[in-house]
């Protein structure tokens, strides 16, 4: 029905044509990450058994997000009027929730073009059976999915080793997206080494991809340490991710920190530096964050759905992603499967309709034009430092005010004095999504509410 390259190209074109200049990276000085949700819909005759499947499929971007930032715990607010996590994946999912709210408005108004149809229970809706959603991210999600094995033949294109690493191997390789640029050099896409890797016989495409792109959005690389120096237990976590016969000498780093209570990373040089499969929080600069890594959040959405607890009051079943597509970047199919589905296999005792999904995971060969490596390759040895873009863009397929540009969790340009004003709230903040949900309920006659909401309303009246 679709290919990973088709999804990537659709998202990149949408980014170029539909998102404003405001909030995008400053040319040759900043970079960002991109994520989106794409709706896939077959034509009517295909649903009835048509044969020309590719031509009859409709693909439409319904939400999009950009961003690399996350606020520290000291800046979090109980009022829900600030965006705690502005990584692209989270912005895209919040924007998707806004799209779902709008579609429920259409369904409640009995509009035929809604993606929802009445469920079997009173007041509940379900997704049309012919629709599915694909999640796209221009880069491997931070956290567990970014712990990717580095193979012996990958030494040359890697970042140069810093002398102080040998003297102090305990120095942590941070994956903070704001790390200084001189610690994260990308391999020139046109260099002889990169070209050789892309055409080397016997090297899988996915390996060549992360080979030629060095360490996009990854931390500095310590010296290669032979896998033979590791214990059997330490090797077991990473050797399963390497092509048959390849020697794992190191892993790409993630800056996400293990949550309190987890076993934690060993910090040993080489392939045993990280422990895989753990829950992690996004890194902060001095002020620790409370936001789980994007790998952990995608894993949660794959069990609980993308709709959130609030919309579940009106839905008969969760809204799951059918597939995840990653753009060209350092990548491991096994690491993605472990991070998104493998470590959730034992989750049980879930409510009816919920479960661990067998989501399809693929990688595109197309690079995002404003990723760190793409910008680095264009600017060559240009002056100044390459830094992550401070703004985040939210776009939803809704008729009114589809765009939202934020900085530090608030609409761009918000002053400290105006923070408590209604205008100083992002349209995808928790409080604004809740207000949209309230407006949706008010448009529905109370006698048509689902039983769970009617019971909750009676309890409130009792109090």
**Separation CA 135–CA 126 (nearest Å):** 20
- Sheet strands side by side (includes 360-363): 360-363, 323-326, 132-137, 34-42, 57-66, 391-396, 403-407, 410-411
**Separation CA 327–CA 341 (nearest Å):** 19
Query: Which two three-digit tokens encode residue 333?
Result: 């199919």
Q: Yes or no: say if 39 and 47 are a contact pair by the CB < 8 Å rule.
A: no
> Annotated catalytic residue: which of 6, 30, 89, 432?
89
- 217 tagged catalytic: no
- How far CA 188 is from CA of 163, 169, 192, 251, 376, in Å, comes to 23, 28, 9, 21, 8
The residues that are catalytic are 89
């Amino acid at each position: 029905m679709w290919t990973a390259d088709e999804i990537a190209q659709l998202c990149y074109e949408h980014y170029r044509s539909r998102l404003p200049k405001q909030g995008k990276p400053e040319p040759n000085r900043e970079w960002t990450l991109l994520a989106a949700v794409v709706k896939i819909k077959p034509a009517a005759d295909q649903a009835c058994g048509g044969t020309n499947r590719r031509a009859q499929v409709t693909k439409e971007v319904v939400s999009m997000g950009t961003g690399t930032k996350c606020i520290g715990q000291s800046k979090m607010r109980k009022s829900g009027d600030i965006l705690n996590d502005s990584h692209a994946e989270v912005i895209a999912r919040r924007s998707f929730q806004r799209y779902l709210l709008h579609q429920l408005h259409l369904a409640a108004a009995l509009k035929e073009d809604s993606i929802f149809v009445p469920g079997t229970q009173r007041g509940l809706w379900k997704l049309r059976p012919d629709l599915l959603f694909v999640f796209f991210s221009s880069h491997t999600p931070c956290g567990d999915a970014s712990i990717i094995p580095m193979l012996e033949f990958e030494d040359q294109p890697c970042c140069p080793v810093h002398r102080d690493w040998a003297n102090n191997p305990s120095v942590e390789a941070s994956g903070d997206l704001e790390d200084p640029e001189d610690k994260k050099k990308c391999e020139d896409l046109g260099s002889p080494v990169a070209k050789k890797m892309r055409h080397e016989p016997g090297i899988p495409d996915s390996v060549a991809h992360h080979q030629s792109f060095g360490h996009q959005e990854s931390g500095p690389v310590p010296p290669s340490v032979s896998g033979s120096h590791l214990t059997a237990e330490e090797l077991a976590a990473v050797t399963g991710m390497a092509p048959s016969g390849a020697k794992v000498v190191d892993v790409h780093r993630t800056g996400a920190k293990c949550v309190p209570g987890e076993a934690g990373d060993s910090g040993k040089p080489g392939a045993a530096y990280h422990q895989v499969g753990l829950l992690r929080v996004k890194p902060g600069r001095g002020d620790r964050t409370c936001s789980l890594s994007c790998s952990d959040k995608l894993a949660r959405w794959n069990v609980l759905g993308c709709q959130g607890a609030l919309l579940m009051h009106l839905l008969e079943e969760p809204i799951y992603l059918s597939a995840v597509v990653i753009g060209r970047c350092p990548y491991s199919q096994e690491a993605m499967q472990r991070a998104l589905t493998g470590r959730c296999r034992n989750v049980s005792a879930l409510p009816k309709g919920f479960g661990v999904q067998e989501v399809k995971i693929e990688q595109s060969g197309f690079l995002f034009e404003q990723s760190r490596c793409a910008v680095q390759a264009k600017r060559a040895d240009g002056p100044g430092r390459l830094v992550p873009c401070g703004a985040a863009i939210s776009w939803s397929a809704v008729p009114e005010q589809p765009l939202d540009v934020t900085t530090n969790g608030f609409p761009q340009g918000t002053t400290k004095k105006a923070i408590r004003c209604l205008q100083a709230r992002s349209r995808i903040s928790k409080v604004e999504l809740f207000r949209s949900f309230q407006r949706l309920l008010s448009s529905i006659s109370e006698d048509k509410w689902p039983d769970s909401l009617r019971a909750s309303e009676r309890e409130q009246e009792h109090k």
